[in-house]
Structure 1
């Protein structure tokens, strides 16, 4: 069994089991590989899509939350810049520090600003700075007139006609939202609200992976916010972030880009309210780390499933081809000549079971044929013995006839000498010549020998005449014993019953490519109504007709079988006048080749 398994395993091209096993293996491998690949790619794309969706939604939510805060701050700023009694009059009053009036102004302004910022934890400080040097604020850190001339104040004066946003370069603690205070079309001060930067960090804390990066750029391409990973080796410089922003052209979109040899998903969003651009960079390798782990797990499961299916397919192919192997074993035993093997019955009704039934029938038929061959060989041996005996008997008969002929000659009996001599020649031609074809001359010699024997049977002489149209026809090949039975029939049945003697004419002539031999006797003849019956008897092998003797029928059948229609024998007769039998056959000089051409 082990050797059989090894042979089947290592010979898949010649084993049905091997072919079935390989087919199962290929189909299984392709199916598992395809399913695993499709699942992994779909999972990979799903993770990327979910990451893009999550980051985009988080950025959108963060942007909307920040916009809500900024709108509230803008409303606060609008309240401040439009309040003349509490703000503008206080800024423009001549009271200076440290007068009582100044102290009252400070108290009133602080209470006013505190009332505005209560219950707004995202505001760390609100300040009103007059260009005359008066500074009012609530919250921290401390602020005094040193703020005059600083970049933040100058920026608010230049851009704060409605609202302006400022984040000092290098600062990561404050985002300032300000607005210019005007009176009589002149700038008299600035209101500034500092946002708690922790709220901004929490708002933009979008990190699908630990090494993801998020940047918020203002309209001047300065940082409003950048993730805490800017200190990492993968952090991008500002100019690179600006290039990415410019490549996105203010679209809310997500694309894949390779930056510094590393693939990222770049998600961008542009805020119509603030004019800020948010850029999120998510590294693909980090994002797909989980998918890689799942891919490896899928590969391990696929290998295990593939091995299990290989084992199962081997068992299935082995069971499927079990009957084929049994049938092969039976055929091998038959090939070795063993027909008496115990039959392993195959009961399946599939093609193998049908093949088994056909094979059993073939074996039974083979047994019958072998038995027939044995019987034929036995009969052949018996025939060989009979043939050997037949060879001895003619030899003995020749010697006996020669003795009779010699004694007749010694005693002066010429008729006995002639009969015995003719009989010797006739028997020598019949028994000594095994060729199927003879020349017409040889066939006429046999007829003459027969006539020499039979003429002594009748009191009156029967003349047998031969008329040859062309002497070359005597060398044509004819079937052996074709003419003698006809002459015998003419003498015995045509002339003999009259007992008045008679004449038999043998006429030989050519017609186109055929040779015709007519045997005509002047005997009692045959009535016309019997001619058709006699001709039919030749075809029906009717034993009641005088033309149905073995020799006559044999001559007709041999000619027809050898040369086909229209060759053979035909009969013409008139009652009381004559009977004519006509033989037609093709003119042939060389019996074997010519006969093959006719056939």
Structure 2
């Protein structure tokens, strides 16, 4: 025998190497794509987070300032304030002190309404009086009078920068043409604004959050971590002063991402900036890991290719050589292997196959004989004169009585029946086709004996429909039940075909309520079923033929069984040992 050789291009080593490379290449390409997608997703998530944070903060700040303005305007109607501004000269000292005290309490209540308010003060220039919610009562002084003259006579709709402070002012009356009787001023705490903005930035990342005056571009308040915030505070903002949006900018050689929202009510723009590398930096390390895994994967490919070459190629050569000896007629060939691996399992089955080859040849011979006899029985059934002419006589009566609908159904089923029995190209068919043929036969007989017979057939379970069985195993059982069980039944005859399971075996039960079978007849039939020799000169009936064909195909646990029903009737059970539902797919895939 020539030494078994495999071309280098078709070798297991080369195929496995190419296979692993082909598998890993798209995996790593997809990994790189996912990495890039992840970077973009991180950026988008950062933008969404920054956008929602800034929008929410600005909305909250607007709400707080609007509340301040409401309280500020409401304070203009305070009786104590109006009395001090108009009738202070005629008020008693005690009344004036009480009015100032109550006014101070009112102003302090306004100050306490928000953590962003540093102080609330009322200026009454007519009496040179300054009442502060925090610092109490004092004279306005020259600086206060200058402040009143510099501020103007109109209500400030948005906080105004006044030196290092942020103010909201409301004069009364609110007119450019009249000098105000008094003015109430709210001073916002820039320290508290900075503190509130610090909640928008995360420790450990180079971020900045700031409120910028839209009209002047001045930085009103802000919080920062790292150096980006300082750099952003010392340069012109890279975005329109009164707009919403996002932008990328380079600050001192670093890429910065900025999100900004403008508030018309505050005349301010809230901007939050973050250095891109501080967000995506941790993800950059995954690129190195991807290349590392790529190199590691290639090493694994080489290692497994060599290992599989040694563990698969040589055992395959052994198997092929053993098959060569078997092909040459050596039925004594055996394969032995010390390693307890999958090939040892293959060798064991090879040895078992060789051991059973002679018995398989004998079984094939017996099966051929039974198939020939089954074909003879089938041909006899095809030309059964009673079934044939009775069916045509019934069809004739339907046509004659102009019962066209039943005639159409009956003729169609009759055609399907004879179409099935006259096709002998396959010894085995799908169980679903065999069951369908049995149903068609049952429908024909039920229409023939409609006044005396009812046949009920359960649906075939889905898990068993695609298994192959010997041809003509169900219809003869139903025919036997009709001819023998229903022979003396003039009415109320009933046959039921059901499907079930007995452990790992599939069972078809044909039950009738006919005359049944006496013990002597049943014993004789069961002994005939147990006959092992086919050379005996006994008639092989349809039942015996079906029983033996099932045993040859599916083993000794398959075949027919009989059970008498109390009160009359007989149940014939056809058992098929498929080996359990888990093996059905193997049986269905290859016969």
TM range (shorter): 0.3 to 0.5
User: TM-score, normalising length from structure 1?
Assistant: 0.45
User: TM-score, normalising length from structure 2?
Assistant: 0.45
